[in-house]
Amino acid sequence: SYGYTTDDIEFYWRGGDNAVTGVTKIELPQFSIVDFRLVTKNVVFSTGAYPRLSLSFKLKRNIGYFILQTYMPSILITILSWVSFWINYDASAARVALGITTVLTMTTINTHLRETLPKIPYVKAIDMYLMGCFVFVFMALLEYALVN
């Protein structure tokens, strides 16, 4: 409580360590709950000591979600963009359509990932991976422009 000090009010978990139930039944698409912890403590500020109750979760990221939603599609789209190397250079409509489709698909995957992950100011490893895939896909399209 930020309005009352420990002299005015006392917080406690009703039921002690068993106050929170049903945590094992929670299902998250990207995470698994490994552990949780109930904490009761007094926090001291210059204006006094204030009671605090907190519930902390330890989460484990489910890599299967990211493999199915991000890594596999980006790998397959990158490989698909290389199919244009085997298309005859005279078949410009097929090569351009394939190149533009793969570039737009990689852009869509990247946009979807940015919307689902937390907004942070630094570059993540998955951003670098997708940027690398995008460069390979775009270079396949650029190769056709240089050959023609």
Q: How much is the pLDDT for 83?
A: 92
What mean pLDDT do residues 125-136 have?
Answer: 95
Enclosing domain of residue 28: 16-61
Contact 109/138 with Cβ under 8 angstroms? Answer: no
Q: Is the pLDDT of residue 89 over 80?
A: no
Q: How much is the pLDDT for 1?
A: 64
- Say if residue 113 is in the same domain as residue 142: yes
Q: Is the pLDDT of residue 148 over 80?
A: no
Asked whether residue 3 is domain-assigned, the answer is no
Q: Please state the domain count of the chain.
A: 2
- Say if residue 85 is in the same domain as residue 22: no
Asked whether residue 80 is domain-assigned, the answer is yes
- Say if residue 37 is in the same domain as residue 104: no
Instruction: Give the pTM.
Output: 0.66
Tell me the C-alpha distance between 5 and 80, whole Å.
Answer: 64
Percent of the chain with pLDDT over 70: 99
